[in-house]
Structure 1
Amino acid sequence: MVQYNPKDWITFIFRFHKSDTFRQLIPMMITIGLYSYAVAYLEIEYWQLSDDSHVKNITIMHGMLGFVISLLLVFRTNTAYDRWWEGRKHWGALVNNSRNLAIKLSVILKEDTDKLFFKRVIPGYASILQKHLNDEETAKTLFEDLDLDINHHNHRPNQVAKMMFQKIHDLHEVGKISGDQLIIINSEIQSFTDICGACERIKNTPIPYSYSSFIKKFIFFYIMTLPFGYVFSLGYYVIPVVVFTFYVLASLELIAEEIEDPFGDDANDLPTRKLASNIKKHVEEIL
């Protein structure tokens, strides 16, 4: 996750981070620039279209569709950010629940051997969940047309949660944990599985294909038709205008694509590895 000072906004203008969309779009921007130059050259030098040509009226279409494409991109980015923020809330809940479970066990358990078990297993759940969500195969479990070589009975986070509950059950059987304490601790362990399921829902359910595909096609045809109408009023200056317009629209789509799956290794994804490390540190301090 990129660390930055949100108040130092001038730095954002002149600094190009490796994850910046400008770097990713440079090849396509050059291609769009050459395409715009070719259209401008044909209309000005070769075809020599007059100002009363019907081609000039293409700008009317862009004026009408500009509002539509802006609404689509706003909805797209908002939906992607909601997924990113929801993932952050679930990992924040995992941090809190891990602390709460460790605090309760540190008071309830008297033997160091029992505490040592949970000192290792509670942080282990966060670490295993981080690797589970970062696995590309996890995102493909809902695909009906793929026959993945996955043993779904060996769901790693579930296995760790089962180990914790098994240990709690054994401690209850030998009288080290009372029935009321068992109910309290059970709710904490259950919350781990609930968080895992919520994160898997985000990971396994991307934006519908038809919606994402339509936006990309919309941006492409919108940009490809821009030079034809605006050459009459801008001349060769249409080249930087079209390139900049493409940069803005395509950047919004790229940002949405990057943050809609917040559990990967992209620069703007959630720092799940760091969060898992913090859970380990806090649990070890408590237990």
Structure 2
Amino acid sequence: MIKYNPKKWFLPIVQFHKSDTLRILFPSMIVIGIYTAIVTYIALNALDLKAVSTTAVHALLGTVLGLVLVFRSNSAYERWWEGRKLWGALVNESRSIAIKINSFLPDTETKPRIFFAKSIANYVYALKGHLRNKVNLSELEDTESLTLEELGQAKHVPNMIANSIYGQIIHLYRQKFISGEQLIILDKEIKSFTDIVGACERIKNTPIPYSYSMFMKKFIFIYTMTMPLGFITTFAYWTIPIVMLVFYILVSIELIAEEIEDPFGMDSNDLPMEEMSLRIKHNVREILLKRDILVHAKPGSPHQVAQA
């Protein structure tokens, strides 16, 4: 996710990044410019077109197109924001379950604390990889009940880790380390983890309907390709930059919507899940192990841990 200062106006205008739509659309804009130039030349010179301007048609269609694009961008942003709220809830739930386990367990029980510190962090990193279609096992750690080899064979790694966490909670209950009331409390925490995973999967696996997406692309294409016919008699050769600018604005809105409607990817505007995962890992270990045993790892290697 790109971090920026919203109070600065002029610097972002001249800056370009890999997801900047101008960089992506520049070749297409050149093609549209050449097409418009050819149509304009033929209309003004070969055909000597002097018909009355038809910009009213495109003005009317532009109003309709603008309303459709607003709906498109709003629906995409709603998906992005819902994903952000879910990961914010994951941060809070991870801290909450760590705090409760820390309160329920005696300080002398070190092994269960280490297990939960590793497993909660594993769950978060596994969810991040699951939403990106590939779990990075190097970000995970072995626990007493689950090895990396077993996790690598799982089809749904977050579910396997959640099952392991719940199994450990049941074991603590049977060993009389936690009471029945405490078991119920922790049961609700595990359920909240599963609810977050299901909600994230719903966003990822339910894109904008195909027919709607295709309609938008066709509408923008037809509108842009017919613009020279309506603008030539009014703007002459100024039609070329006007059409290129309109094409850039309309397609940019569609590209931005396509990028943010799946907030769990690795695009520049997607959620900073690496940063949030590392934050959860730090917080959980600090709560359960009474000290920060994490190495201040460089970005890209958040799984490095010092020996306790």
* Same fold? TM cut 0.5: yes
- Name the aligned partner's letter for residue 162 of structure 2: A
CA separation in 1, counterparts of 2:100 and 2:226? 64
1:16 correspondence with 2:16 = yes
Q: How does 1:1-287 map to 2 (within 5 A)?
A: 1-52=1-52, 56-57=53-54, 59-110=55-106, 111-135=109-133, 154-287=155-288
- Name the aligned partner's letter for residue 184 of structure 2: I
* CA RMSD after TM alignment: 1.5
Tell me if the contact between 2:33 and 2:244 (Cα under 8 Å) persists in the aligned partners: yes
Q: 1:16 to 1:39 in 2, by over 3 A?
A: same
CA separation in 1, counterparts of 2:273 and 2:167? 27
Distance apart, 1:153 and its partner CA: 7.2
Please list the CA deviations of residues 239-277 of structure 1 after superposition, one character each: whole Å capped at 9, or x if unmatched: 000000000000000000000000000000001121111
CA separation in 2, counterparts of 1:48 and 1:136? 60
| Greater RCO, CA 8 A, separation 6+ | 1
Tell me if the contact between 2:154 and 2:160 (Cα under 8 Å) persists in the aligned partners: no
SS of the residue 1:31 aligns to: helix
Distance apart, 1:209 and its partner CA: 0.3
TM-score by length of 1: 0.91
- Name the aligned partner's letter for residue 121 of structure 1: S
Distance apart, 1:18 and its partner CA: 1.8
* Identity across the alignment (%): 53
- Name the aligned partner's letter for residue 183 of structure 2: L
CA separation in 2, counterparts of 1:105 and 1:153? 27
Distance apart, 1:154 and its partner CA: 3.2
Please list the CA deviations of residues 21-54 of structure 1 after superposition, one character each: whole Å capped at 9, or x if unmatched: 00000010000000000010001111101234xx
SS of the residue 1:116 aligns to: helix
Say how many residue pairs are matched: 270
The structure carrying a bigger helix percent of its residues is 1
- Name the aligned partner's letter for residue 31 of structure 1: V
Distance apart, 1:19 and its partner CA: 1.1
Segments of 4+ moved more than 6 angstroms: none
CA separation in 2, counterparts of 1:49 and 1:253? 34
SS of the residue 1:197 aligns to: helix
Distance apart, 1:200 and its partner CA: 0.1
CA separation in 2, counterparts of 1:15 and 1:91? 29
CA separation in 2, counterparts of 1:286 and 1:5? 32
Distance apart, 1:17 and its partner CA: 1.8
